[in-house]
C-alpha cells in the first residue's frame, strides 16, 4: 500500500513538473491516435453514409464485415499488419515497420470499422422524410446526401469519439508494428506496459492517470454529442 501511495505521489510530481519524457510520450500518443482517427473518419464516414443511402453491391456482407471489424482484436490486426510491413512482406519495401506511420495505419485499421459502422447506423436512422424534403426543395444528389449526413451529425460524432476511445486505449497492435522504441514509437499505453513490467510505477501511474482523464473526457464528449442529437442546436447564426 505504501509503495502504491508513493507511486501516485511520484506520478503527480511528474505531471505537475512537466517531465519532458512524459510530455513527449503524451504528444506522440495524441499525434498517432489523432492522425489515425482523422484518416478513419475521412474513409469511414463516406463508406458508412454510402452504405446507408445508396444501393451498394454486397451491402449486407460489407455491413457484417464492418460490424465484425468493430471487435477486431488489436493483436490480430497488429500481427497481420506486421506480416504485410515486415521486410519479407508485400509492403516491406516501404520500410514502415517500427515507425509512427505503421502505428497510425494499425490504429486506423482498428478505428475504421467503428467509424464506418456507427456512421452507417447514424445515417440509416435519419427519418427518410428528411431526404425527400431535400429532394423536393431542389437538392442535387450530393446536397441531398449532405442534408441527411448533417441530420446525423451528432450520432456520427459519437461514433468518431467511440473510435477515439478505441485507439487511445489500444496497445496490442502498436506494440507489434511500432516496436515501443524509446523517443520514437513509445506511446502512453506501450509505456505503461513496459514500465509496469520493469517495476517503475511512477511513469506508468502518471500515464495511467492521464489516459483515464482522456478516457473520461471522451465519455463526457460522447454524452454531450448524444444529448445534442436529441435536443439539436439553437445557434442563431446563418452558417
Partner 1 sequence: MGLELEIVHVFRSYNGNRILRDCSFGFAKGRTYVLQGPNGSGKSTLFRALALLEKPDSGRVDYRDGGRILAADLELRRRITLVLPRTGIFNTTVFKNVAYGLKIRGIARAESEARVNDALLAVGLAHKKWHRAAELSSGETKRLGIARAMVINPEVLMLDEPTANIDPANTEIIEAIILKMKQERQATILMITHDPAQAERLGDDLLFMQDGKIIPA
Return residues touching partner 1 (CB under 8 A).
127, 129-130, 132-140, 143, 147, 150-151, 232-236, 238
**205, 15 contact by CB (below 8 A):** no
The closest of 176, 70, 172, 76 to 121, measured between CA atoms, is: 70
What distance separates the 2 farthest-apart alpha carbons in the chain?
A: 70
Residue closer to partner 1, measured from CB, 87 or 230: 230
CB of residue 143 vs partner 1: minimum separation in angstroms? 5
Comparison of 151 and 170: residue with beta carbon closer to partner 1: 151
Shortest spacing between CB 65 and partner 1, in angstroms: 30
Least Å distance, CB 195 to partner 1, is 47
Distance CA 99, CA 113 (A): 23
Measured distance CA(217)–CA(64) in Å, rounded: 30
Q: What is the DSSP letter of 235?
A: -
Is the CB of 82 or the CB of 154 nearer to partner 1? Answer: 154
Q: Which of 52, 189, 191 is nearest to 120 (CA)?
A: 52
In contact, 116 and 66? CB cutoff 8 Å = yes
Q: How far is the CB of 134 from partner 1 (least distance, A)?
A: 8
3-state secondary structure of 37: helix
Nearer to partner 1, 72 or 228 (CB): 228
Q: What letter does residue 137 receive in the DSSP assignment?
A: T
For the CB of residue 188, give the shortest distance to partner 1 in the complex, in Å: 36
In the complex with partner 1, which residue's Cβ is closer, 20 or 138? 138
Amino acid at each position: 500500500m505504501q509503495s502504491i501511495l508513493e507511486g501516485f505521489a511520484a506520478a503527480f510530481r511528474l505531471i505537475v513538473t512537466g517531465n519532458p519524457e512524459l510530455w513527449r510520450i503524451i504528444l506522440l500518443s495524441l499525434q498517432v491516435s489523432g492522425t489515425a482517427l482523422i484518416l478513419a473518419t475521412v474513409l469511414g464516414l463516406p463508406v458508412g453514409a454510402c452504405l446507408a443511402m445508396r444501393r451498394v453491391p454486397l451491402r449486407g456482407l460489407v455491413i457484417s464485415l464492418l460490424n465484425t471489424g468493430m471487435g477486431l482484436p488489436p493483436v490480430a490486426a497488429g500481427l497481420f499488419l506486421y506480416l504485410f510491413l515486415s521486410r519479407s512482406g508485400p509492403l516491406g519495401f516501404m520500410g514502415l515497420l517500427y515507425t509512427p506511420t505503421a502505428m497510425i495505419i494499425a490504429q486506423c485499421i482498428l478505428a475504421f470499422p467503428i467509424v464506418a459502422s456507427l456512421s452507417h447506423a447514424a445515417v440509416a436512422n435519419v427519418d427518410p422524410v428528411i431526404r425527400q424534403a431535400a429532394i423536393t426543395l431542389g437538392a442535387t444528389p450530393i446536397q441531398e446526401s449532405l442534408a441527411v449526413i448533417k441530420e446525423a451529425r451528432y450520432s456520427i460524432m459519437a461514433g468518431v469519439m467511440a473510435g477515439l476511445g478505441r485507439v487511445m486505449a489500444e496497445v496490442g497492435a502498436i506494440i507489434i508494428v511500432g516496436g515501443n522504441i524509446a523517443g520514437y514509437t513509445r506511446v502512453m499505453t506501450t509505456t505503461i506496459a513496459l514500465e509496469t513490467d520493469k517495476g517503475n510505477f511512477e511513469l506508468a501511474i502518471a500515464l495511467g492517470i492521464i489516459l483515464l482523464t482522456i478516457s473520461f473526457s471522451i465519455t463526457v464528449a460522447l454524452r454531450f454529442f448524444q444529448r445534442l442529437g436529441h435536443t439539436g442546436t439553437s445557434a442563431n447564426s446563418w452558417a
